Structure 1
């Protein structure tokens, strides 16, 4: 009984809805319709949660008025929604005027960023009609599309706590870590096979060696990263362009190496042409052209939401230095009942975003995506840092001749479980989580536990190459 009760509680939490402060304005005339972003106060205005149950009413255009007094409007607004301009008076004043004239809803157009309508607690009970804000550009667009009049409906579809984009993010991250770790181990196995054919130790390859050997170097590396994070926080607007250039170059180089390796492994021939004393591979030129082109396209359209879905991101209340650096100095807002601010013109975003997070557009946030495209995000460091451990585990499997690949498989599973726990805590708390807080203990404790059980903790911790680690009975590693 207790287990069933907890199961029902978890299901209720998982599929429960949260009230949003973004809504949808459905404008129609005949078979033509448009939908626009609205911002409202969920504790003030009562808006339907679906289009089918939303009340339809004709819209009266008082766009040139702020309706701060009854003299600024017609004698009656009975059973109509009214569109006014945000003026000098309080929104409560305009709402009470519209309500007393019989209006069923007040739509306030604003040329500034849209914040949640607010008033004194004592005024909330006086206003019985919905009061919403919309962009002035959207109001003008609706008036242009429907010059002969329009019917409007206001509705705010509830936002599910769980979005399918989270699953996509999980699959991409786990796939990247698993494939990268497997590739690293396969490369180590090939290197060891080549070393066995070489008699002289001096001629053996050391391409797979780690560059960080001592605790001093590790601490120096961590210190440099912390310093860079602080510099990015204070000098973001200048340093961000250096990181964008580095990201473009690094991504083009990484794509080139991966594609070249895949084409070579698939047996794709490399046609070459000679020019003087130099020989050039046409396949390499083609792959390089593709990689550079993709990198340049990303660099040119990195802020174009129509091409890359790169719009301002709505964050939870509260900012950390890491989130602030990753998403830009002006990124802010809220979700699911927090404070929000919708830009009056999304195309006029004036800051650059640091390319250090992976963004997947949310599928279910319909109202919020009308206001600003919503993303599920995961930092590249949450993939790269655990990925290094997964790669090391596969190499250690190769060094110890573990045909079951127990370290590699266990670490991959631990990474997936740690990431799922991260997303679960994020859903339950409605707050972004530092993924490494969960991934680090999951992956490290799993690999260390296996090493202890197998009595290989000293070899696993030392990180030595295969020759000093293995005993004489394990020398013919590649006999299979």
Structure 2
């Protein structure tokens, strides 16, 4: 394998290992949590997202998202029950003293700072405001709570925090137009969205395709060696090249090193998170996506004659000719400096793959860009699973066990050390000004009134995928039936573990969950339990995949039989 290919595998694997996170990411997601202050009478509301619909001179305009305060009255949930109310700016702007404006049930917008949230709300209510919008001094939303020693909490108007950019746009509207009105309401989120179903199907389908392809390559290698045996009448075939070419088998030390390197990368991302760093990740993702996409396309096109020949429908001669060209192009190579031997087919499809990745990078902010990101991501994961193999169950246990502890630490323990979950902050791209990192599969929340996306990290697919692919390779080489083998049960365990993740996600009110916390016990536990019950555990643990029969050894056995 060329040096560039090996470097690509190491870098991409480290980046993929960073993120094992499943979560909904919605418009206006709350990233600052302040639950240290206990609830008390007058300050015990649940934090809810609030839609702020605007009208300029009677014409419907932009909609913003805020978060309701722990204090004040609750906000209506249905749009039809929400009133259109005039919006005005406070004078003074911070509303830390009684407003000079004459209010008649208007909504007042104030700036954050210089006094308590409840002081602003009391002053606004005493001035006859019907609600108060507080503009944050940061881009994110913030949960407004009460101070431990506060007693003046008899507030009867709703209070809503707006992000800085939303408040700035509202201020421009008020400064440039004669009349701005708003409507405040908080529709409930559905317990389950269809986005989670599609993410589950994408994750399971990716592992299924990657496992079948990985096992197919092993079977092709076995068939090639059988052909060598039949053709080796006068010459003993070279046994140094037996096995599957272009595969990297990791060991236990490498598995631990991967997780250590991933931890260092994650902490560096957390400290250096910015828009330029997100751009670097986008470039790295595009490079990996290009390699993955061309690997998958080359494999599909080179095998398309086998696929097309199984069709009973008539095929035009041009397609028949093209499939022969694909097969010939995939078996003809040219040596390229640094990249090594590359097939003509790979060279032919490379411009398309590069153009695809570049277009996604340029237009990744548009609403449908998630499709391009998912295609690149799935191709990348499948390509990595073809290159990175675990040789036995011992290495798989070390890899998944370390990843399990990695998830626990960076999602839960890091929250106590850094006052926020490091992995969740990095996965959502907080402090970067960008819409999250690209190393995620995402799907829009179709039936959620708040919109946004559900996401799952690449690591939640790749890491268990190495074990599932190992199971299918073992079954094929050991001639195990589907029911009597390990692949079917490992696949079922992964799907059930991921399903449990989404159940926990909804029970935890949408807070991000480390998916490997649920996937690893199901997948690894099923494999270990079945292996022990069937008496295969020692063999799976140490030897792993049965070796492809060596033609040299088989020729010797044939000679011994003939001479015996």
Q: Shorter-chain TM-score category?
A: 0.7 to 0.9
Is 2:183 the partner of 1:128?
no
Does the C-alpha gap of structure 1 residues 126 and 284 become closer, same or farther in structure 2, counting only changes over 3 Å? Answer: same
CA-CA distance at 1:453 after TM superposition: 4.7
The within-5 A match list for 1:158-197 is: 158-197=188-227
- Please name the residue that 1:80 is paired with: 106
| DSSP-derived class of the 2:228 partner | coil
Tell me if structure 1 keeps the 8 A contact 2:193–2:446: yes
The within-5 A match list for 1:291-440 is: 291-300=353-362, 304=365, 308=369, 319=414, 324-325=422-423, 327-328=425-426, 349=432, 355-367=438-450, 374-404=452-482, 406-430=485-509, 431-440=511-520
Is 2:94 the partner of 1:59?
no
- Please name the residue that 1:221 is paired with: 255
| TM-score, length of structure 1 as denominator length | 0.73
The within-5 A match list for 1:225-240 is: 225-230=259-264, 232-234=266-268, 237=272
Is 2:540 the partner of 1:460?
yes
- Per mean C-alpha deviation after superposition, the further-off stretch among 124-133 and 417-426 is 124-133
Alpha-carbon deviations, 1:102-127, whole Å to 9, x = none?
Answer: 22112233444442334446455332
CA-CA distance at 1:154 after TM superposition: 0.9
CA-CA distance at 1:66 after TM superposition: 3.8
- Please name the residue that 1:99 is paired with: 125
| DSSP-derived class of the 2:77 partner | coil
CA-CA distance at 1:164 after TM superposition: 2.7
Question: Unaligned stretches of 5+ in structure 1?
Answer: 1-17, 333-342, 344-348, 476-480
1:117 is matched with which residue: 126, 141, 144?
144
- Please name the residue that 1:25 is paired with: 52
Determine the C-alpha separation between the residues in 2 that align with 1:160 and 1:124: 35
Tell me if structure 1 keeps the 8 A contact 2:243–2:548: no
- Please name the residue that 2:296 is paired with: 258
CA-CA distance at 1:415 after TM superposition: 0.8
- Please name the residue that 1:13 is paired with: none
Tell me if structure 1 keeps the 8 A contact 2:222–2:549: no
Tell me if structure 1 keeps the 8 A contact 2:88–2:174: no
- Please name the residue that 1:336 is paired with: none
Is 2:217 the partner of 1:198?
no
Tell me if structure 1 keeps the 8 A contact 2:99–2:124: no
How many residue pairs match? The answer is 420
Tell me if structure 2 keeps the 8 A contact 1:95–1:106: yes
Determine the C-alpha separation between the residues in 2 that align with 1:58 and 1:325: 41
| DSSP-derived class of the 2:80 partner | coil
Alpha-carbon deviations, 1:139-168, whole Å to 9, x = none?
Answer: 1354378x2424322111223343332222
Alpha-carbon deviations, 1:413-432, whole Å to 9, x = none?
Answer: 11101111122223223443
| DSSP-derived class of the 2:133 partner | strand
Choose between structure 1 and 2 for higher RCO, CA contacts under 8 A separated by at least 6 residues.
2
Is 2:72 the partner of 1:44?
yes
Does the C-alpha gap of structure 1 residues 224 and 421 become closer, same or farther in structure 2, counting only changes over 3 Å? Answer: closer
Determine the C-alpha separation between the residues in 1 that align with 2:428 and 2:530: 45
The within-5 A match list for 1:266-281 is: 266-267=304-305, 268-269=322-323, 270=325
Determine the C-alpha separation between the residues in 2 that align with 1:100 and 1:436: 52
Does the C-alpha gap of structure 1 residues 128 and 354 become closer, same or farther in structure 2, counting only changes over 3 Å? Answer: closer
- Please name the residue that 2:8 is paired with: none
- Per mean C-alpha deviation after superposition, the further-off stretch among 250-259 and 458-467 is 458-467
| DSSP-derived class of the 2:154 partner | coil
- Please name the residue that 2:187 is paired with: 157
| DSSP-derived class of the 1:465 partner | coil
Does the C-alpha gap of structure 1 residues 281 and 389 become closer, same or farther in structure 2, counting only changes over 3 Å? Answer: closer
Tell me if structure 2 keeps the 8 A contact 1:232–1:240: no
| TM-score, length of structure 2 as denominator length | 0.63
CA-CA distance at 1:208 after TM superposition: 6.1
- Per mean C-alpha deviation after superposition, the further-off stretch among 380-389 and 446-455 is 446-455
